[in-house]
Each structure stands twice: as structure tokens, then as C-alpha cells.
Chains A and B, each alone.
Chain A
Amino acid sequence: MFDLILSQAVNGLVLGFLYVLIAVGLSVIFGMLGIVNFAHGAFFAIGAYLALMLNRDFGWGAALLAPLLTGLIGMLVEFVLIRRLYGKEPLLGLILTFALALFFEAILRLVFGAAPLPFNPPRFLAGFVEYGPVLITKYRIVVLAVTVFALVAFWSFLEYTPFGRIIRAGSRDAEMVGLLGINLPIVLSSVFGIGCLLAGLAGMLSGPLWTVNPSMAAGAIMPAFVIVTIGGLGSYAGAIIAGVLVGVVTAMTIQFYPDWSSAAMYVLMAVILLVRPRGLFGEKWERFE
């Protein structure tokens, strides 16, 4: 039994990190821009479709451009639509991003059709590694490594670069940053683009694991929202810990109470919110109070 638990725990950890990658972009966009981005799952799907198309036509090297392109699409969306919502009623953001999610799904269906498209891990990453009871595929090891690298790189960017400091300052007091002569709209566009880039990266990595179809956003967006809520809205560390928690709890529930597997993360969220309504690492932010 211990073998099975260990095996499921490791698998849950990998799954959790994939969820983290989806959730971090959502958390960053909320934390910096104050927008609850219901369209985040759509950018995840766009990333998967772009990776699929680039891989099919030019190979895996080109597919690596998919997150970047997703980020650029995100910046365009921010420039055209999202920036009109800053400082407005939060409900407007919910409605607009929800409409965007439906719109992008419809566009994907229109362009690529409703049927799932075949997309598998690259051949050089086929196979798995067995260590005692633990089985993990080579592709999932790469997913884990890329996710950890992306999270560390983004955290370092925010902590140690001048632009990262501007972003963090802007998230706390946008008006003050503007008064200092910094071009805040460009900063905010970049933040939205980075959030979408992370969603696109998650989409690119998930495409070979999950089914690539226009509705694939639904499978990503709900765990992402649960993770952001558990971790605390806008908290980077909270999203990481919550993602791992959700992954491991889901895997363990599948092992022992499979009928409850879809409900497990929601029960976890309810329990944590009962104990700590702001989530694990949620802070009191003046601008949202």
C-alpha cells in the first residue's frame, strides 16, 4: 500500500505543478491588474493549438514559440479591450473576460473544427522511468523541469530586475508609479502578456497529455481558480503551494475514493477558506479593500 501511496503522491506532484503553471498566470494578472481573467483558460487553449500547428508544420523547435505568440495575443487583447476596465466596476471585467473566453472558444472551433486533434509528446521523450514503485514518464519529468524553471525565472524577474520592481510597485499603487514618470500602460500590457505567456506555456506542455479541442479550457480554468483561491488571490507562493496540494489531494482521492475525485479540490478549498478566508497566503491589499 505504501508503494501505491508513494507512486500516487509523485504523480500528484507532477500534475500539481502543471496546475501551478496555469494558475500562476491567473494569479499574476489578478495581483497586478485587479482583473479576474475568465479568459485565462482560452489562452491556455490557444497555446496548445499554436504548439500543435507549429509542431505539425515546422517541428518541436518551432512549437516552443507558442507561449511567446500567446503572450503577444494577450498583449493585443489588453491593448484593445482590457485596459478600458482599469479602475472600473469589477463586474465589467468578469463579464468581458467571460465573453472573451466564449469568443476564443468559438474562434478555435471555427478555425480548427470541434473534433480533437492528435498531438503526442515528441518521440525523443517517449518512455518512462521506474524507480521502485514510482513510475513517471520522461515527458512529465520535462514538464516538471520546465515548470519549475519558468516559475523560478519569473520570480527572479519580479524580484531582481528594475522592470520587475516597477510591476510590483504598480500592483500596489499604480497612480504613484505613473506620477514617477513611468509609462504604466506599457507595464500593464506586459503583465497581461506575461500572464498569457504562462497560460500558453501550460497549454503547450499540456497539449500532448490532454486532448486538444476547443473546449479544453474548461479542464484548466477550474483547477486554476481553485488554486488561486486556496493560495490567496495574487499570491505567487500561495499558488505554488496550493497547486501542489490540489495535485496530491486529487491523486490520493483517486486512489482511495475515486468517486470523489472531482470534488476533492473543492472540498479542500472549502476547508481552507473556512479556516482562512483569504486563502493560505492571501494578504490585505489596500486597492482591493
Chain B
Amino acid sequence: MSSNSLRHLTKINRRTLIGGAGGFALAHAAASKLGMPYIGSAAAADPIRIGMIYAKTGAVADQAEYMAQGSLLALETRNNTLLGRQAEVIWLDEPTSQAAQQNAERLVGEHNVVGIVGGSLSSSALAISAVAKKAKIPFVAANAGAIDLTGRLCNKYTFRLQPPADVHTRVLAPYCAGLGKKWYLLTAAFAFGQDIKRSFTEFSAANGITLVGADEVPVNTADYSSFILKIRAAKPDVVVGGVPGNDISTFLKQWNELGMKGKIPFAEIAVGATDLWGVGPEAADGLFTINWYHKNPNNPPEEQMMAATYEKKYKRPAADKTWMGWMAMNALLDSVETAKATEPGAIVDALENWGVQRGGVKAGYRAFDHQMVNRLLVVGIKPKITDKWDYFDILAETPSNDAEIEKVFGAQAQSACKMDTL
């Protein structure tokens, strides 16, 4: 090899080294955020693995981040151990429902997880549920609200924390009816939005409410101004929304921009606190149902402790989604401990009997459809927001005791679930 070519080689190598190192660092930083599996604790020999499927990109990525952090916190507070063994979380993405299904299959086939927690959107949760049923692996859906998940498409291995749209509707609709008898529905064109539309339409038909308009909007709509102009022309007494994640933030910003804030009341079920934090105090408006609120003085001590730990670690308050991720993961981890085994059937049995006392209500999964019964909060935006993390006044906690559960969540006879066997 000549000296020239050697010099050339040396030059290229140095550049390659610097470029390669830089490229590797960048690629590593990106990959860690772009769908490469996250492994939540150092792996010891034969650890117990828990699968987690939460969105890393898209309209619900921010909610999913809080849920994931809540779920991870649940395991961390157990020192990353289960049944006296090392435990780890494997977090995969859910960019589409098809990808969610494939990732659920990966968790089962490649990582041998003992259970899965997640499903930021109903479409993803329904896809993961199908895998759970086929693979006979327990799945706790944290956020999905589509009725079918614990209704027509229920199965023995799927449990759901979020109350479905019809439950939220039973809680919020009477408040809407108190505001007026002419409603306008603006719901997203996917499973949860369509359930909201159906539930509120049924309520309105049964309670003498007139629907002066009902639009289905695509998920990730960037500009709602044309929809708002339609609503303005229809002159409803209340607008009932059913748009998810960031979309409600966008809608409320434009609702305020077009001068509608305070003119026509806006209501929506199952919002996340982060959606409203993203709107800002100037534009935030509405009446909502929410699962949990960090400023609720009635939160049980262990939830207050979780919120304090979360805030200390992440330098921001725990959102409702944090609690949902934490609660869903806790149910699964508690059930593994109760079952004293990683055998799916034993975990499912334990999940069916799992419960925690929350105020006057014992929260837990009903055996006949695996829907969690729990209390919901009805909240309104504070007249004046002075704390960027405190937007809500709590108007009601429903159901407030076990006797009210059936009234809010419905009876077994009303359920479309035909539960299968292990």
C-alpha cells in the first residue's frame, strides 16, 4: 500500500470515526424515542416481563407519556421485583391499530410477557384485546373507552379501566340537559367518538333533547374553524364534544379565537388534564368528566403518595393519565403477586377479584364483563386560573357509593358481553 493511499485511509478513518460516532449518538437518541423497545429495568437472569403498549407519536402521545410514566412508577415502587424476581417492562409503540396488534404479538412471541398494559386509543386496545384472547395473555386496557371492548367484543383475558362512553354519558348528560335542550354533537370519526355520538343521541331521544347538528370530524383535524362556523349558525344551547387528545386542545383554542368561549357551553366526556393544560388559561373552557384529578382532596393516601413521588421525579404534577397508567399496572402486578405465579389463568382469576377502596366506592373489575367500576369526577374550568397545573373545579364525584354503581355503570342484563372461559 502506498503512503498516499495510507494517508488517504487515515484521513477517511478519522472522518469516518468522528462522523460515525456522531451519527451513532444521533441515531441512538432518535431510536430511543422512535419505537425501539424500552426496557424499564436491568435484566437479570430470566426476569418477569410485563408488556406495555402506549403511543410514542401522534395525537395521543402526550397522554400516553403520562400513562407510561405512571405504569413504570408502579413497578419502580416495588423495586422492579415481582414474586421475588427481577421484573422489567418492555414498551412498544401503537402508531396504528395494526401496528398495535403486531407489537402485542411481538410482546407475546418474542418477549414472553406475562401480561400487557396499554392501549391509548380504542382502536388499538381492540386490536391488542384480540391478540390477548388468542394468546391467552392478560391485558389491562388503561385508556380505551369504546363500548365494545367490555361489551360485544369482551373476552376472559381483557380488563378495562376507563369507563366506556355510555357510562361517562350517564354522568355528564344530565348536566348538559340542565344547560339547554338544543344540542350540537361534534365527535371524532373513530370508535370512541362514534360511541359518544351514539350514547348522547340515545340520551337526547329519551329526554326530549333536540339535536340541531351532529358532525363527525377526522382525528388530527388541524383547523376546526369551518365546523365552528356551522355550530355558530345552528345556535345550539350546548355543544357536546367527542374529540380525542390534542384535537380538543386545537378545538378549544379556535373556539376561543372565534369568540365562542362563554357564549355557548361546551361539554366533553373523558378528557385528560394535559389536553386542557395545552389549551392555556385564556382559551380553556367547558364541562367535563375525568377519572382522577391531582388536586382532589378525596384521593386515597396511596394515590396522594403516588402523585407526590411522580411530581418529585418528573418535576410536574401527576395527570389523570398518570393515575390510569399506574392503576392499570398496579392491578396487573398485584394480581401476579396474588396468583403467586405467572400462569395466565391464575392472573385472570386474581384480576377478577382485585379491588381497592376509593372513598365510598370499591374499585375493581366486574367478573361478568371485566369493566372496572370506579368513581368519576365532573369538573368545570375555574373562573380564574392562577396555577398552570390547576384548571378544574370539582363539581361532583359519581358514583359516590357502591349502591350507585349499577345506576351509573349499568347492570349485567344491560351488558352485551358474553364472557368466554379460560
Question: Which residues 90-116 of A have a CB within 8 angstroms of B?
Answer: 102-103, 105-107, 109-110, 113-116
CB nearest neighbor in A for B58: A215
Q: Which of B220-228, B373-381, B412-420 contacts A (4 or more CB under 8 A)?
A: B220-228
Question: Which residues 201-245 of B have a CB within 8 angstroms of A?
Answer: 215-218, 220-223, 225-227, 229-230, 232-233
A116 CA / B218 CA spacing, docked (Å): 19
CB atoms of A12 and B280 under 8 A apart? no
CB atoms of A262 and B226 under 8 A apart? no
CB nearest neighbor in A for B281: A118
B49 within 8 Å of A by Cβ?
no
CB nearest neighbor in A for B55: A114
Given known contacts A135-B258, A211-B278, A259 and B229 CB-to-CB distance under 8 angstroms: no
Contacts of B162 in A (CB 8 A): none
Cβ distance B99 to chain A, nearest Cβ, rounded Å: 15
Q: How many A-B residue pairs have CB under 8 A?
A: 140
Contacts of A14 in B (CB 8 A): 225
B61 within 8 Å of A by Cβ?
yes
CB nearest neighbor in A for B321: A115
CB atoms of A258 and B274 under 8 A apart? no
Given known contacts A106-B29, A109-B61, A7 and B229 CB-to-CB distance under 8 angstroms: yes
Contacts of B279 in A (CB 8 A): 116, 118
A121 CA / B253 CA spacing, docked (Å): 9
Interface residue tally for chain A (C-beta within 8 Å)? 51
CB atoms of B226 and A214 under 8 A apart? no
Q: Which of B220, B259, B278 contacts A115 (CB 8 A)?
A: B278
CB atoms of B280 and A118 under 8 A apart? yes
Contacts of B256 in A (CB 8 A): 120
Contacts of B58 in A (CB 8 A): 215, 218
Given known contacts A106-B33, A116-B275, A135-B229, A211 and B253 CB-to-CB distance under 8 angstroms: yes
A114 CA / B33 CA spacing, docked (Å): 11
Interface residue tally for chain B (C-beta within 8 Å)? 48
Cβ distance A105 to chain B, nearest Cβ, rounded Å: 7
B57 within 8 Å of A by Cβ?
yes
CB atoms of B59 and A209 under 8 A apart? no
CB atoms of B229 and A219 under 8 A apart? no
Q: Which of A150-158, A248-256, A278-286 contacts B (4 or more CB under 8 A)?
A: A248-256
Cβ distance A217 to chain B, nearest Cβ, rounded Å: 10
CB atoms of A209 and B62 under 8 A apart? no
CB nearest neighbor in B for A108: B33
B367 within 8 Å of A by Cβ?
no
Interface residues of A (CB under 8 A from B): 3-4, 7-8, 11-12, 14-15, 102-103, 105-107, 109-110, 113-121, 127-128, 135, 137, 139-140, 206, 208-216, 218-220, 250-251, 254-255, 258-259, 261-262
The 10 residue pairs across chains A and B that have the minimum distance between CB atoms: A118-B280, A116-B278, A262-B218, A219-B222, A106-B33, A115-B62, A254-B226, A114-B62, A258-B215, A114-B65
Since A116-B278, A135-B258 are in contact, a sample of 9 more A-B pairs with Cβ atoms closer than 8 Å, ordered by chain A residue number, is A114-B65, A116-B246, A116-B275, A116-B279, A117-B278, A120-B253, A135-B229, A214-B61, A258-B216
Interface residues of B (CB under 8 A from A): 26, 29-30, 33-34, 57-59, 61-62, 64-66, 189, 215-218, 220-223, 225-227, 229-230, 232-233, 246-247, 249-250, 253-254, 256-259, 274-275, 277-283
- 22 contacts across the A-B interface (CB closer than 8 A): A8-B229, A11-B226, A11-B229, A103-B26, A106-B33, A106-B34, A109-B61, A113-B65, A114-B61, A116-B62, A116-B275, A117-B278, A120-B280, A137-B259, A208-B257, A211-B246, A211-B250, A211-B278, A214-B61, A254-B226, A254-B227, A262-B218
